[in-house]
């Protein structure tokens, strides 16, 4: 019985470690602060071309979540780098973060409320650099 208990605890502990949360949903202030102090990061905007034309967070690259090649384009990113993902209000970026987690990305930060929350907090946007 004792061996069974040890086996169960070991199995649950191993499962918990392998399924540790790699995604954090952050409000605009925490997203900006964490992004500012994180080196070698990727800032990912998953909005459409027309949305991105209105402005992005400085340094962002765009991969449109609605593009049929979205998953393939994600595969081109460095999974070991912290990734800061956002969309307009947080829905698509939340889904993208879940997908990235399944694909093995190590650390994902999702902007809760999207770029709309970013702008409401008074943070700047800029043109997308291509």
Catalytic residue of the set 74, 87, 111, 117: 87
17 is a catalytic site residue: no
Q: In what order do the strands lie in the sheet with 23-26?
A: 23-26, 108-111, 83-86, 42-45, 61-62
Query: What is the rounded distance in angstroms from the CA atom of residue 83 to the CA atom of residue 67?
Result: 19
CA–CA distances in Å: residue 7 to residues 13, 18, 50: 10, 16, 54
Query: What is the rounded distance in angstroms from the CA atom of residue 4 to the CA atom of residue 37?
Result: 45
Count of H-run helices and E-run strands, the chain: 6, 5
Active site residue ranges: 87
């Amino acid at each position: 019985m004792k061996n069974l208990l040890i086996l169960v605890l070991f199995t649950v502990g191993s499962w918990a470690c392998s399924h540790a949360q790699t995604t954090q949903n952050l409000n605009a202030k925490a997203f900006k602060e964490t992004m500012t102090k994180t080196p070698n990061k990727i800032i990912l905007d998953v909005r459409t071309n027309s949305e991105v034309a209105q402005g992005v967070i400085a340094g962002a690259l765009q991969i449109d979540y609605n593009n049929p090649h979205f998953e393939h384009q994600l595969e081109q990113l460095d999974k070991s780098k912290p990734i800061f993902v956002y969309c307009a209000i947080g829905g698509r970026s939340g889904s993208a973060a879940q997908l990235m987690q399944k694909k093995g990305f190590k650390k994902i930060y999702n902007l809760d409320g999207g770029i709309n929350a970013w702008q409401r907090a008074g943070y700047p946007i800029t043109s997308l650099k291509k």
